[in-house]
Amino acid sequence: MPVEKEARVVDTDNIQGSIWPRLPKHFESYLFFKITNKERFRKHLRTLVNNGEITTGTQCEDHLVKIDEFEEACARSRRDVPESERQPFTAVNIAFTHMGLLKVEDPGVAPRFAETLKEDRDAYCKERINEGLFEKGMFDDLVYEGADSPAVLHPDFGAPPGNESKKDPERWEWRVDGVFIVAAHTARALRNKIGDVEDVFHTGDANMLSMKIAFRRDGQVRPGADRGKEHFGYEDHISQPKIKGLDDPPAKGEPHACPPGYIFLGHEGDPNKRRGPAWAKEGSFLVFRQLDQKVPEFNTFLKKAASGAPGTNYNGEGGPEKLGAHLMGRWKSGCPITSAEHPEAIDRDVPELAFSNKFDFRPKKSIKGCPFAAHIRKMRPRADKKRDIGTEDDGDNMPIPDLESDEIFAEGQHEDASVILRRGITFGPELTEDEIKENATTKDRGMYFTCYQSLIRDGFNLLMTRWASNASFPEYKAKTYPDGPGMDPFINQRLRKDHPDGHISLYNGLDADKTFKLPLEDSPWVIQKGGEYFFTPSIKALREQFSSA
């Protein structure tokens, strides 16, 4: 359970519920919109806020507690609940792109904001959000300066030809202005709630409308026993960071709580706490990214790679399942493959450890544990980013130091600012009989990945560009293949055309001093279709800064 409300450092009546604790949902739609009339939009938004239609963190918390699903990573929250037994709950949240903020800001502030941008793009001021990646958006960030391929991106997330020659901010005018996130317990309830939102903004009336839906994305949790799993079959959203002063303290052996400013602007840990605008407090940056998954192709790769792997580690009937677990870092049950209490989990699933978060990748230089480039290790390195506290290999069973009781021993063991809150949802149908028979994907399915952080550069961007596709990360792995730990098996990208194809370094079961290199092949099983960067304001900011009576 969370910290008592009166003792919280974050006002959960003021934050949007998709950030914390999460939107209760079986169905969820993202309505990407363009503002057509600024003055009317501000008035319509005020109506939405005053009617209590923007769902707060407290409202989500109360419902999750009521249905006994506040704890996300547990069997009860993953159980199949028939539609007739679900407690009714619908939710609406809203977030804006940089272009959207320019349109809806208070008229007295926007001119100063625009003038500051014109005079000095890098200047800090109280009238702007000081986050350059948010301003330029995901396309500029990950195409012009990253590894996204325009040919692969969905057209909804791509700039028109010749756009790169335009000056700021004109070059960003093609982007949407914002997104409504609408969630519900049933498909019918979702449709009705979307209708309510559209009615407030008069989307059916050419003389009264203030925005139009440019495009939308519809997701739903997977059915039956697969609730909570992504389409490859692995449990998702297990190891979420605990927020100090908001969540209950982590259990012994779990990663330490992070400062609230890693997620919410204006709080301890926010690097721009003293430089950002006051209205940004308790807002958070939202990243939306569409990931298409090729399930049959992934399963085929596991079978082929396991049978051809050198050594003994992936031999036998269970080899493909074990290889998949090692690429992810968890078995499909959710059991982590590294556990000081159950070392056998490296070789077989231990269902009683499903959803366990009591591990830190120690000994962090041993290749016999979790592969250095396993997905969960790339995305949250734990001990790999912490100072050594034992021997060179950091001790086989060294506990995570208690930050409160021994500050000297715990020095260098704090969580860093790369942590993110993941809030996505799966989309698309279950595998068809024809796809299983032909071992080929014919239907669109995957995940709408979303996450929150107080700085995109420290969160999503760092994870994607500096860690996932960096074959040398985590650093300082002496006992490894000369090419380094390898790349994230699920979301790696070639940062430049002259870079080698992806690989991951694995233990062969025989030689504890050297890994073997497993190529990740040319055809990925996760297609990164692009997305967008948003800012999710507080309720107070929506009322006082972005709307009018």
Containing 426, the helix (H) or strand (E) segment is: strand 425-427
User: Tokens 């003994």 sit at which residue?
Assistant: 312
Backbone angles phi, psi at 406, to 5 degrees: -145, 85
* 393 pLDDT higher than 80: no
Considering its fold, how many domains does the chain have in total?
1
Show the tokens assigned to 397: 């069973």
* 413 pLDDT higher than 70: yes
User: What is the mean pLDDT of the segment spanning 52-66?
Assistant: 98
Name the band, by pLDDT with cuts 50, 70 and 90, for residue 406: low
Q: 77 with 236: CB under 8 angstroms?
A: no
Query: 295-308 and 319-328 helices cross at what angle (nearest 10)?
Result: 110
Name the band, by pLDDT with cuts 50, 70 and 90, for residue 390: low
Q: Which of 4, 3, 8, 29 is nearest to 18 (CA)?
A: 29
Q: What pLDDT is attached to residue 105? A: 83
Q: Which of 126-140, 170-184, 189-203 has the lowest mean pLDDT?
A: 126-140
Name the band, by pLDDT with cuts 50, 70 and 90, for residue 398: low
Name the band, by pLDDT with cuts 50, 70 and 90, for residue 110: low
* 170 pLDDT higher than 80: yes
- Whole-number mean pLDDT of the chain? 92
Q: What pLDDT is attached to residue 268? A: 96
* 93 pLDDT higher than 90: yes
* 495 pLDDT higher than 80: no
Q: Which of 7-11, 73-77, 141-145, 172-176 has the lowest mean pLDDT?
A: 141-145
Q: How far is residue 371 from each of residues 327, 340, 374, 387, 490, measured CA to CA in Å?
A: 7, 15, 5, 19, 14
Q: What pLDDT is attached to residue 60? A: 98
Q: Which residues contact 138 (CB under 8 A, 6 or more apart)?
A: 148, 157, 287, 289, 530, 531, 532, 533
Q: How far is residue 467 from each of residues 162, 464, 488, measured CA to CA in Å?
A: 31, 6, 8
Name the band, by pLDDT with cuts 50, 70 and 90, for residue 203: very high
Q: What pLDDT is attached to residue 411? A: 73
For the beta carbon of residue 22, count every other beta carbon within 10 angstroms. 23
38 conformational bin, left if phi > 0, alpha if psi -120 to 50, beta if neither: alpha
User: What is the mean pLDDT of the segment spanning 42-57?
Assistant: 98
* 397 pLDDT higher than 70: no
Who wins on pLDDT, 110 or 318? 318
Who wins on pLDDT, 432 or 415? 432
Q: What pLDDT is attached to residue 144? A: 85
Q: Which of 380, 216, 286 is nearest to 17 (CA)?
A: 286
Q: Which of 13-17, 38-42, 261-265, 385-389 has the lowest mean pLDDT?
A: 385-389
pLDDT per position as a tens digit, 71-92: 999 999 999 999 999 999 999 9
Query: Which residue type occupies 495?
Result: L
* 396 pLDDT higher than 60: no
User: What is the mean pLDDT of the segment spanning 271-293?
Assistant: 94
Segments forming the whole domain that contains residue 492:
1-549
Q: How far apart are CA 52 and CA 505, in angstroms?
A: 52
Q: What pLDDT is attached to residue 13? A: 98
User: What is the mean pLDDT of the segment spanning 392-420?
Assistant: 73
Show the tokens assigned to 352: 């009683």
Q: How far apart are CA 127 and CA 109, in angstroms?
A: 7
Who wins on pLDDT, 389 or 501? 501
Q: What percent of the chain has pLDDT over 70?
A: 93
User: What is the mean pLDDT of the segment spanning 260-279?
Assistant: 93
User: Tokens 């359970």 sit at which residue?
Assistant: 1
Q: Which of 27-36, 372-381, 469-478, 528-537 has the lowest mean pLDDT?
A: 469-478
Name the band, by pLDDT with cuts 50, 70 and 90, for residue 279: very high
Q: Where are the beta strands (DSSP E) in 75-194?
A: 90-96, 178-184
